[in-house]
């Protein structure tokens, strides 16, 4: 695939969309750490310098994907919680929130891989302008997530829902990175059953952590 130079804003938008779609497809084949700007450029059919005309860095491409993946995940969560019975006791509704969060995250491995790399990798090698745009988009999605959670668990209030969401995001990134261990670590677990206590599985670890978090946040 070879592109001519984009001369209009519409053409630039198409180019950006193609770059993002290609990066997203690559992340179904490889982890974030292995996605290089050189390979992305090759697959898009542009020189690396031309890709950098549309995104200032590899990290900027991936942060744009974080935004689009977050928006899609929030909608998944809202859909999953739309059938929760408000007459159900708060603790039971809390467990349903936890189950929905974990289930919808686990269904989006690309998103989980991105957020596991976000603070340590993706938020570096970007300009202040890019950082502002990304964080402003994050705030908008954060407000939407608060609305979704408060709609199901009004007992939390806006502040409690915000604490739940921000902590859940940190937990998701950390637990995912440990659950997706490398081949050598997985082989070690298989070779030595005494190491089983160190092996982390995403679904049970997230469920236990989020239920404990909600227990502390819900009013007694």
Domains present along the chain, CATH in parentheses: 1-55 (1.10.10), 58-217 (1.10.357.10)
**pLDDT lower than 70: segments of the chain:** 1-7
Rounded to whole angstroms, the Cα distance separating 12 from 35 reads 23
**pLDDT, tens digit, 9 for 90 and up, residues 152-192:** 999 999 999 999 999 999 999 999 999 999 999 999 999 99
pTM for the model: 0.89
* Cβ(153)–Cβ(98) below 8 Å: no
Q: Which two tokens stand for residue 182?
A: 């490398």
Rounded to whole angstroms, the Cα distance separating 68 from 180 reads 22
Rounded to whole angstroms, the Cα distance separating 189 from 14 reads 46
Cβ contacts of 158 within 8 Å, gap of 6 or more:
146, 150
Cβ contacts of 120 within 8 Å, gap of 6 or more:
none
**pLDDT at position 177, please?**
94
DSSP 108: -
């Amino acid at each position: 695939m070879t592109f001519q130079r984009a001369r209009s804003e519409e053409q630039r938008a198409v180019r950006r969309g193609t770059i993002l779609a290609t990066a997203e497809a690559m992340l179904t084949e490889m982890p974030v750490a292995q996605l290089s700007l050189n390979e992305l450029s090759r697959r898009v059919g542009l020189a690396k310098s031309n890709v950098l005309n549309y995104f200032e860095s590899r990290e900027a491409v991936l942060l744009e994907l974080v935004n689009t993946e977050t928006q899609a995940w929030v909608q998944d969560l809202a859909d999953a919680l739309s059938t929760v019975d408000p007459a159900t006791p708060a603790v039971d509704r809390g467990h349903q929130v936890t189950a929905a969060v974990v289930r919808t995250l686990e269904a989006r491995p690309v998103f989980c891989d991105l957020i596991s790399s976000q603070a340590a990798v993706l938020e570096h090698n970007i300009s202040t302008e890019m950082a502002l745009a990304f964080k402003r988009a994050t705030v908008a999605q954060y407000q939407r997530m608060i609305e979704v959670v408060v709609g199901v668990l009004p007992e939390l209030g806006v502040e409690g829902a915000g604490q739940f969401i921000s902590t859940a995001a940190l937990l998701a990134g950390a637990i995912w990175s440990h659950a997706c261990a490398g081949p050598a670590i997985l082989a070690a677990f298989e070779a030595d059953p005494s190491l089983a206590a160190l092996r982390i599985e995403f679904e049970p670890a997230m469920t236990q952590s989020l239920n404990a978090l909600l227990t502390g946040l819900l009013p007694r």
